[in-house]
Amino acid sequence: MLHLDHLLLTEPGFRLEADLTIPTGAHVAVIGPSGAGKSTLLNAIAGFVVPAAGRILWNGQDLAGQPAGARPVSILFQDQNLFPHLTVERNLALGLAPDGRMDGAARARIAAALERTGLGGLGQRRPAQLSGGQQGRAALARALLRARPLLLLDEPFAALGPALKAEMLDLVLDVARETGATVLMVTHDPGDALRLGGLTMLVADGTAHSPCETSALLADPPKALRDYLG
């Protein structure tokens, strides 16, 4: 379970409060107006933003003392955070070991993850030699190898066309099922939230609200969500 315990995040001219829990294995769409703090919230969970107050607990353990790399978290951004100078295989190796070293067993696991995400045989390419969709797949393959319990996605597929985006979302769900990960995915598209299934967290008016069942929330949206959806 992820517990945001009286969490307060602040930047100059910005504050966001969160006091909520997310059950283990839940799939949560994070939705809300631009600038509401969705990315800041994910970055705080990942360890890139230090809270002004409150705690972030995973299964009862306070993450405050853990640097980003040690947290039980994988995070994917829109640019897929692949290293441009490394081959796809090397990028994936970083999901297995922080120094990216590969032995025979690691090579085999990487090859399997590439096959699994439809990138078989492309391990020696660099990210620039892949399409946008293939880069997204490579980033997901690395998340699959990392197999961290929390998978955070910050609009990772916003630049893709609708068909490809739907395909990538299905792959996220496959990866989440395989690893048992709890998923938080920022999106501006209610269709993505429905496709992800499960819960939606509204971030608006300085508050990250407790997640609600997505179809029920969209069927009867509170005012802040109505205003956002237009």
Query: Which residues lie near ligand ATP (CB under 6 A)?
Result: 11-12, 14, 32, 34-40
CA end-to-end span of the chain:
33
| Least distance CB 214 / ligand ATP (angstroms) | 18
Q: To the nearest whole angstrom, how small is the minimum distance from the Cβ of residue 129 to ligand ATP? A: 28
Complex with ligand ATP: residue 77 or 173, whichever CB lies closer: 77
Q: How far is the CB of 9 from ligand ATP (least distance, A)?
A: 8
Rounded to a whole number of angstroms, the minimum distance from the CB of residue 97 to ligand ATP is 30
Strand extents, DSSP E, the chain: 2-11, 14-22, 27-31, 53-58, 61-62, 73-76, 150-154, 182-186, 199-204, 207-208, 212-213
**Cβ proximity to ligand ATP, 158 vs 216, nearer residue:** 158
* Nearest alpha-carbon partner for 29 in 215, 163, 175, 162: 215
The residue among 195, 196, 191 whose CA lies nearest residue 176 is 196
Q: Which is nearer to ligand ATP, 34 or 69 (CB)?
A: 34
Three-state DSSP at 163 gives helix
Closest CB to ligand ATP among residues 23, 35: 35
